[in-house]
Amino acid sequence: MSKENVTRRGCRDVFNASLVVDAEYDGMFEFPRINPTYLMPNRLIPFSKALSCSDYDQWIHFYEDDYLFERLWKNPEKYLPVLKKFNGVITPDFSLYRDMPLAMQIWNIYRSRALGYWLQRNGVSVIPNIRYGDCRTYGICSDGISKHCVIAVGSHGNLRCVADREVFLEGFDSVVSKLEPQAVVIYGAAPERFFQKYIDSGMCLVQFDSDYAVSHRKKPKQSNSNGE
């Protein structure tokens, strides 16, 4: 998309077309292409906490409620200086619920790709997050992402319920088959019974506990002064 198409006189850029200036597109729905990355995160911090954090030796993620990071889509320039201080960013995880109309699911995939492309263009290291909703998105959720690179997925909240687990694992199989990633960053649980086959195939899985799991982790009982 050229600059002429996004700077029409008297028009506000309400669709954030400026994010994809000079982008290349992929797939039926023309998601912006994100350049491959082979970097791995050392630690993760959610976007909402990163804004007030001075420990920049970590990667920002968006595996949290959409309302906490919708502001990035509305005003990306405002948050760019903060994002650039960190090691990198896993692209936004806009929700894709199975009961969403397909148009909304496609729009949220597009928004994640557009922000990922824009961040890369502005010098931010990016790991693409892959999010899919119902089975109609399996074939398109990887569009715009290069094969054999590092990708990220969020398993948090998707493995407890049988129906959710089936959809998540079916979608994950589809993504792996299409992209053949070098490594996958998993935010949330990664039980061996579901993921060992990918490790056996030679794929690297790097798992990070969700913030929810960390906050609810049982603390060891402290002994009293009598050693009890």
- Asked if residue 223 belongs to a domain, the reply is no
62 in Cβ contact with 93 (< 8 Å):
yes
Q: Is the pLDDT of residue 212 over 90?
A: no
CA quadruple 125, 149, 116, 68: dihedral positive or negative?
negative
CATH of the domain at 45: 3.20.20
Average pLDDT in the chain: 92
| Model confidence pLDDT, tens digit, residues 167-186 | 999 999 999 999 999 999 99
- Asked if residue 14 belongs to a domain, the reply is no
- Asked if residue 138 belongs to a domain, the reply is yes
Tokens 């039926």, residue located: 28
Q: Is the pLDDT of residue 227 over 60?
A: no
- Asked if residue 180 belongs to a domain, the reply is yes
Domain of residue 160 covers 25-215
Could you tell me the CA-to-CA distances from 228 to 218, 219, 220, 223 in Å, in that order? 18, 16, 13, 5
- Bridge partner list, 154: 187
| Model confidence pLDDT, tens digit, residues 68-89 | 999 999 999 999 999 999 999 9
- Asked if residue 45 belongs to a domain, the reply is yes
The pLDDT of residue 3: 43
Query: Per DSSP, which regions of the chain are E strands?
Result: 25-26, 31-32, 44-46, 59-61, 88-90, 126-127, 150-154, 183-187, 204-208
Confidence label for 221 from pLDDT (cuts 50, 70 and 90): low
Confidence label for 113 from pLDDT (cuts 50, 70 and 90): very high
pTM of the model: 0.90
* Domains contained in the chain, number: 1
- Asked if residue 123 belongs to a domain, the reply is yes
- Asked if residue 1 belongs to a domain, the reply is no
- Asked if residue 220 belongs to a domain, the reply is no
